[in-house]
Structure 1
């Protein structure tokens, strides 16, 4: 997506009316009338939607990784925004991480809706029917992507399928989760029909059919998770077979394969490798800055200083939980790559561990918000392990032998011996160590139904400082941001438990 990021940066001034929430008006009619006059205008508008993916990796680390049993990120005495997230505080409706998740996703939805509206009104200027269909598919893919992120964090959210005025937005209530999924599924299905299988090198980063297939499969799996008797992302459905069909299509395409070396998946010199199904791409050295910030999100500043590098912004340590450290087999080569255990700075030894998976100390940028590394949203290992999960959940058309083969392929890369008769518990343990630091753990706990048992037991064993509050099933989702409740009192009802 190097091309998209650059073009999006140039277009931001044109789309400056898209800011923080649903009260924002769309592009003025005068602006749209003068801007959407040739195919390149529509391409630039599509490219601009991707700008709202920039903070997606940080969001997964702050809201999923930090919320989960992978990190014990209680306060170190300072005021840290992650404290309330980690410790299940009830008063996090004004937390900036929570607000960012709502605002940025809706900003992306707004931009997607603007493009879809203009394709309908003025799209005839694009005489290339294939290009026109692809641009619509990109917009619908990204709209579905943003809505899927929203429904996993907040449950019920407003469904908006066109660019709206401020007054119109104030009349749109939250929709039932089932209705949000209807839009997500329809958009991903449409994207599958019109997205290409692959792109030329200059266009890498745009979604492909396989990206839409794999994410739609995850949607079906998420919907099939338990409801917890709340209005969250799980609907208790049995769509494992639908998901398996889509995952098998990705596998059968032959366009992806496992990278032989685990560290090489995340290498700065091996981006766009065979494991990448969909990623958020960054490019450095631009004005405005379009690089990444997620590599240091979980890394303490003193570690960078101990290596002669400038501080980045991770502040103090968000320690890896003992539960995660103990989850690794002693022979597992993934642990040393993913986790830094201890360091010394100014004569003081830090014994706690932290996740440093995305940091290459030889490539620390001059500007701490301009890291040159992509974030993999969906990789082929995930496709394979999701397939194994579907089979173990009872999907039609899979066998235990396939599950064992998938898990052992992943284990072999990590230097581990094969196992047989893999269970769901073993599968989720494998997912935990494979994807540690990638922001999937909380979603896995929720989808698997383990969150109600795993998190309370983990708090009891891990909370040595007695800083964490008791877990409640309502914490499967986050509160609606307070700013959204204040815009029009009574429009939204706060999620229970907050």
Structure 2
């Protein structure tokens, strides 16, 4: 069994902070009595990591399903993802939306408490300064990660960087995105200075946040800030910091700790975790008690495929979320990414399903038999291919770099690995965006790529017109770049938050 980094919310210490403003703060009494030993701090650190567990599932429901990659109109009854896919205005109580807010703030509250306890007791409990710095660096990375996730989905959010009590929390309004970015960047710069490279970790700690995962996130933060503001108070601020992003990416490249794998499928091989593509992943461990395996492999896969077609135990994918027709057409015949990532229809008995779905993370020889919540595979959050293609995007936006090497060369290397032999020259922003769409299908990047590039409105409007022939989707409006503040949060402190426009 691999090293378990994330506990299944089993520590009594953290039970008082779940999930919303009604349940703050983390118990001061518990903190005072708990953080007494090095092991206490290690377990507390694991608890800060634990809020990552549902991150890939969230990406698939709030980003992949929201984008033009899926035409996820449900059949067999209305599903929670349909309002996400179809741009319903009444999704403030949608469970996916509520989970994104609650879980990220849960992680932030835990991070704030941990940093406070580390500052108060760390020096006397943990004698090794380097160990303390590594602990703090990981927690600062995680707090930045959770806040970045929040502003990409919701825009303005409450900025809470310390332990607060319930009364105080109910008086903290949403802060401008620029102020949240200031904390994110400060945390990441500290994380970079405190964290080791992956090769400097002991084997059992290889899955923890490292210097280059912090640099990768910081580079993505600079790119996201550099995107257009779109008039929605979202994550784009039009800051033109593409060169700052490239500085971070170049440091990662120069480390020589990562590389493109020669095989696309090898990146996601269950027996090849922590491979050279992986800059940061979320670690899961199957067979543990309590369960800390993954669930994301089946999120986009209809359960009937597991049960009726493969004769395997039921999973949780419910009905099909079809791959968009224009995405299927975007793959060339020899592109191995299509056959690896997409199941193109299936049949059982007299039923023939002609629609396709994403099966990218499924290995049918690894399907758990005891619990569908216990898949034995990590989720790659940042991988080297993404870094190289993001750097190419920066160069196309005016950052230092070579068109021949950093844009055309990278794109062609990615295409060659996919089985495409015709090289491209003079790659444009539009071509790069489409290559990213094919490469990262199912990984939740497409929605954010469209927003960052400023093409989301034109792309989604044109796509709905051609793809949604049944007229089941709402017209796209720019307000839908953001999700609504969950209604549960609006109800907790009436008048504290204003709702995002369009909902």
TM-score tier after normalising by the smaller chain length: over 0.9
Aligned to 1:238: 240
Deviations 1:267-321 (A, max 9, x none): 1000000000001110011222111111000001111121111221111100000
Aligned to 1:263: 265
Q: Which residue, out of 342, 347, 356, partners 2:345? A: 342
Question: Mapping of 1:267-346 within 5 angstroms?
Answer: 267-305=269-307, 306-346=309-349
> How many angstroms apart in 2 are the aligned matches of 1:378 and 1:287?
28
Deviations 1:449-496 (A, max 9, x none): 110100000000000221100100000010000000001111000000
Query: 3-state SS of the aligned residue for 1:340?
Result: strand
Aligned to 2:34: 35
Work out whether residues 2 and 204 of structure 1, in 8 Å CA contact, stay in contact via their aligned partners in 2. Answer: no
Aligned to 1:481: 486
Q: Which residue, out of 224, 227, 248, partners 2:226? A: 224
In structure 1, stretches of 5+ residues that fail to align are none
Per-residue deviation, 1:154: 0.1
RMSD in angstroms over aligned alpha carbons? 1.2
> How many angstroms apart in 2 are the aligned matches of 1:10 and 1:436?
31
Matched length: 497
Query: 3-state SS of the aligned residue for 2:382?
Result: strand
Question: Mapping of 1:28-427 within 5 angstroms?
Answer: 28-124=27-123, 125-198=125-198, 199-305=201-307, 306-366=309-369, 367-417=371-421, 418-427=423-432
Deviations 1:35-55 (A, max 9, x none): 111222111111111111000
Per-residue deviation, 1:123: 1.3
Which aligned runs of 4 or more in structure 1 are off by greater than 6 angstroms?
Answer: none
> How many angstroms apart in 2 are the aligned matches of 1:448 and 1:48?
35
TM-score between both structures, scaled by the size of structure 2:
0.97
* Residues 462-471 or 71-80, more deviating: 71-80
Per-residue deviation, 1:22: 2.6
> How many angstroms apart in 1 are the aligned matches of 2:474 and 2:403?
42
> How many angstroms apart in 1 are the aligned matches of 2:168 and 2:260?
48
In structure 2, stretches of 5+ residues that fail to align are none
> How many angstroms apart in 2 are the aligned matches of 1:22 and 1:399?
49
Per-residue deviation, 1:347: 2.2
Query: 3-state SS of the aligned residue for 1:257?
Result: coil
> How many angstroms apart in 2 are the aligned matches of 1:277 and 1:401?
22
TM-score between both structures, scaled by the size of structure 1:
0.98
2:456 equivalent to 1:454: no
Per-residue deviation, 1:29: 3.0
> How many angstroms apart in 2 are the aligned matches of 1:261 and 1:397?
26
User: Per the alignment, do residues 156 and 10 of structure 1 end up closer, same or farther by CA in structure 2, a change over 3 Å counting?
Assistant: closer
